[in-house]
């Protein structure tokens, strides 16, 4: 069985500028990596990646190679990636889950939160192997913190998921606690393999450390009006596990990611005025939530119902 999240049914109030900037920065750095000869890219991993042996002093980098202090590479490593699948998976999860976490705390707190989770991930990998000379690269530690925070904020949010079982393909809704639970469970399952050698691969302990850091930090970083455990979330339109027609997935994806001139934020918005559909009348599904209900300007704002919209050759560790 193989599954991959596509997007969540959990719109955010604000445009996630910081999450988009992180994605852009990671893509730009990765394109720079691709422009380098293999030997130069290898050198970049050692210069900007996090190396536990360098941080512990067991095997410090030669002065002619070292560019940043060892502690600073915990941050610089978050913008390097080991390949197309590595950056593709990381950016997909950041795109799906980052907007709601950023929305829960605001952009500046989100920057600090993301960096702290990335540093916690690097420290977790450091603690398990302080003498390792394998560079650790990738944004997975910080993104794992975002996943941990999302699990605490919206455990019941519906995640549109692509599911492949042998030759059978389905699009289904799964609650976030299942999607993220399977992800973090897979990291723990892989721990014995990670302990068996120091030959590069995936930094599972970094993922676990970042995820736990995100769960622990989110109560302190979220705004006071943001509840935990999805207290204000609307139940999903589709029951978990129920197949969703591809035409519906395509229509929703077009609305979410397409250019919508009638949407002031051009982003997913959680709260809107009750439109015709809310009163039991027929409504045009192609109309943006911003259009629906916008013509009734005489409605008493205090009595207007609000609802949440129901609209993740080089030996190196990939964080």
Domain boundaries, the chain: 2-233+311-318
pLDDT reported for residue 260: 43
pLDDT reported for residue 296: 43
Q: Which two tokens stand for residue 100?
A: 């709601």
C-alpha distances out from residue 268 to 179, 216, 224, 235, Å? 21, 27, 22, 17
Radius of gyration for the chain, computed over Cα atoms and rounded to the nearest angstrom: 22
Residue 239 in contact with residue 230, Cβ under 8 Å?
no
Strand partners, 243: 172
pLDDT reported for residue 243: 67
- For the chain, list residues with pLDDT below 70: 1-2, 194, 196-200, 234-247, 249-250, 253, 255-318
In CATH terms, the fold of domain 2-233+311-318 is Rhomboid-like fold (1.20.1540)
pLDDT reported for residue 274: 40
| 39/42 Cα distance (integer angstroms) | 5
pLDDT reported for residue 318: 67
| 246/287 Cα distance (integer angstroms) | 20
Q: Is 104 exposed, middle or buried (0-12, 13-18, 19+ CB in 10 A)?
A: buried
pLDDT reported for residue 295: 40
Q: Which two tokens stand for residue 156?
A: 């019941």
Structure confidence by residue, pLDDT tens digits, 3-43: 788 878 777 888 899 999 999 999 999 999 999 999 999 99
- Between CA 311 and CA 87, with CA 100 as vertex, the angle to 5 degrees is 100
Strand 2-8 to strand 168-175: parallel, antiparallel, or no bridges (unpaired)?
unpaired
Q: Is 91 exposed, middle or buried (0-12, 13-18, 19+ CB in 10 A)?
A: buried
Nearest to 5 by CA among 158, 186, 117, 220: 158
Strand partners, 271: 308
pLDDT reported for residue 236: 61
């Amino acid at each position: 069985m193989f599954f991959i999240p596509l997007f969540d049914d959990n719109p955010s109030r604000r445009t996630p500028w910081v999450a988009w900037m992180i994605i852009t920065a990671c893509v730009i750095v990765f394109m720079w990596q691709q422009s380098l000869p293999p030997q130069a890219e290898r050198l970049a991993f050692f210069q900007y990646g996090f190396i536990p042996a360098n941080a512990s002093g067991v095997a410090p980098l030669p002065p002619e190679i070292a560019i940043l202090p060892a502690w600073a590479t915990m941050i610089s490593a978050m913008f390097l990636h080991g390949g197309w699948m590595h950056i593709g998976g990381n950016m997909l999860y950041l795109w799906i889950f980052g907007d709601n976490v950023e929305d829960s705390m605001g952009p500046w707190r989100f920057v600090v939160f993301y960096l702290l989770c990335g540093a916690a991930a690097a420290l977790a990998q450091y603690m398990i192997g302080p003498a390792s000379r394998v560079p650790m690269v990738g944004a997975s530690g910080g993104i794992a913190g975002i996943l941990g925070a999302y699990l605490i904020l919206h455990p019941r949010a519906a995640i549109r998921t692509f599911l492949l079982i042998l030759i059978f393909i389905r699009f289904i809704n799964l609650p976030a606690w299942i999607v993220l639970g399977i992800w973090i469970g897979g990291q723990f399952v892989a721990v014995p393999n990670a302990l068996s050698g120091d030959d590069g691969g995936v930094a599972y302990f970094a993922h676990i450390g970042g995820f736990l850091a995100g769960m622990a930090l989110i109560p302190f970083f979220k705004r006071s009006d943001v509840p935990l455990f999805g207290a204000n979330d609307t139940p999903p339109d589709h029951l978990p596990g129920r197949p969703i027609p591809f035409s519906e997935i395509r229509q929703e994806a077009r609305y979410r990611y397409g250019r919508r001139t009638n949407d002031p934020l051009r982003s997913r918005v959680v709260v809107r005025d009750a439109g015709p559909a809310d009163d039991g009348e027929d409504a045009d599904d192609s109309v943006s939530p911003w259009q629906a209900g916008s013509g009734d300007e005489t409605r008493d704002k205090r009595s207007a119902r609000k609802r949440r919209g129901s609209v993740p050759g080089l030996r190196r560790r990939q964080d």
